[in-house]
Amino acid sequence: MTLVVFDMDRTLLDSQSRISPYTSETLALLRRNNIDYTIATGRTLQAALSPLENDHFVQPMVLKNGAVVWQPGEKTYSHHHLLTPTEVNEVISVFTHSDLNPFVFSLEENQLHAVYHAPLREGFEIKLAHLFESERDLPLQALTQMPQSAHVINISAMGLMENIQKVIDYVEHQPHLVAYSGMGITAQNLAWLDVHHSMGSKGNGVQYVSQYAGYEEIIAFGDGDNDISLFEVATESYAVENADPELKEIASAVIGHHDEDGVAHCLRERFNL
């Protein structure tokens, strides 16, 4: 059996963070030909579901870069890699000393996600908080309200690249942690950063799904450094035109731009749809 795995932002979704009509038609053709598909994304469950709601994503979903796997049928998580309280406290400390405001993502008892954060300072921090709360349906709470027993999935931030690099340098010496980063607002030299448990990668998440459901072939699509582990476990891997150079180097092929239905065109050609 074959499973097609999509990254969402800057890969499956267009520049408006939507599935285009042409891509939606292509997904329908996959279903008609009994080809399963799912996502492997850095988004939380709430943030992922909205763009996907009309396109029948019913297979297990790899969320938060592989930290958790959501089972749509059972409406529960079947797999997760959480940060320990000690790791959480140490990472928050490094963020703070690097002049970064930590946004701590947790898995709540109701199976949904929440975000805890320190007082907001810069304009871009306020915009980021608004994005999480309004566009991605994530409740925000003060970091001081986070219980020590919180199920922390990852810690994120946006800030100057030199400050982000300080955290990346720290994480490189922590065997149980991994950091993903990329440019957020190029004109202001602002980058984004996610710190996860090292086992919480897209590659490990997709391998779990593959073994769980018995898939023999994985066809992956992506654009960023958090897709490297996904490409490493895939049978075939396709980087969109707008992908990072490092990902293009290891891809089976480079396809069209995410805002020009690159994934959909590739699927139609690959499967003769």
User: pLDDT digit string (tens) for 158-197?
Assistant: 999 999 999 999 999 999 999 998 877 777 889 999 999 9
CATH code where residue 27 lies: 3.40.50.1000
Give yes or no: residues 232 and 212 share one domain.
Answer: yes
Task: Give the type of residue at 226.
Answer: N
Spatial CB neighbours of 100, under 8 Å, sequence gap ≥ 6: 157, 158, 159, 163, 164, 167, 193
CATH code where residue 90 lies: 3.30.1240.10
Give yes or no: residues 109 and 155 share one domain.
Answer: yes
Condensed to tens digits (0 to 9), the pLDDT of residues 31-41 reads 999 999 999 99
- CB 26, CB 267: distance < 8 Å: yes
pLDDT band with cut points at 50, 70 and 90 for residue 152: very high
Give yes or no: residues 179 and 95 share one domain.
Answer: yes
3-state secondary structure the chain: CEEEEECHHHHHCCCCCCCCHHHHHHHHHHHHCCCEEEEECCCCHHHHHHHHCCCCCCCCEEEHHHCEEEECCCCEEEEECCECHHHHHHHHHHHHHCCCCCEEEEECCCCCEEEEECCCCCHHHHHHHHHHHHHCCCCEEEHHHCCCCCCEEEEEEEEEHHHHHHHHHHHCCCCCEEEEEEEEEHHHCEEEEEEEECCCCHHHHHHHHHHHHCCCEEEEEECCHHHHHHHHHCCEEEECCCCCHHHHHHCCEECCCHHHCHHHHHHHHHCCC
Give yes or no: residues 161 and 217 share one domain.
Answer: no
* Domain extent for 206: 2-80+200-270
Among the candidates 146, 177, 197, a domain finishes at 197
Give yes or no: residues 155 and 75 share one domain.
Answer: no
Condensed to tens digits (0 to 9), the pLDDT of residues 213-272 reads 999 999 999 999 999 999 999 999 999 999 999 999 999 999 999 999 999 999 999 999
Give yes or no: residues 112 and 141 share one domain.
Answer: yes
Whether the per-residue pLDDT at 118 is higher than 70: the answer is yes
- pLDDT for the residue 68: 95
- pLDDT for the residue 188: 82
- CB 44, CB 76: distance < 8 Å: no
Give yes or no: residues 163 and 235 share one domain.
Answer: no
Structure tokens at 202: 């897209």
Give yes or no: residues 62 and 163 share one domain.
Answer: no
Total structural domains within the chain: 2
> For all residues of the chain together, what is the average pLDDT?
94
**Across the chain, which distance is largest between two alpha carbons, in Å?**
54
Give yes or no: residues 93 and 193 share one domain.
Answer: yes
Condensed to tens digits (0 to 9), the pLDDT of residues 73-96 reads 999 999 889 999 999 999 999 999
Give yes or no: residues 246 and 177 share one domain.
Answer: no
- pLDDT for the residue 121: 87
Among the candidates 197, 220, 253, a domain finishes at 197
- Alpha-carbon distance of 126 to 262, in angstroms, equals 33
For the chain, give the percent of residues with pLDDT over 70. Answer: 100
- Alpha-carbon distance of 92 to 106, in angstroms, equals 14
Among the candidates 155, 175, 197, a domain finishes at 197
Condensed to tens digits (0 to 9), the pLDDT of residues 196-215 reads 999 999 999 999 999 999 99
Give yes or no: residues 180 and 124 share one domain.
Answer: yes
- CB 160, CB 100: distance < 8 Å: no
- pLDDT for the residue 65: 93
- pLDDT for the residue 138: 83
Give yes or no: residues 90 and 193 share one domain.
Answer: yes
pLDDT band with cut points at 50, 70 and 90 for residue 135: low
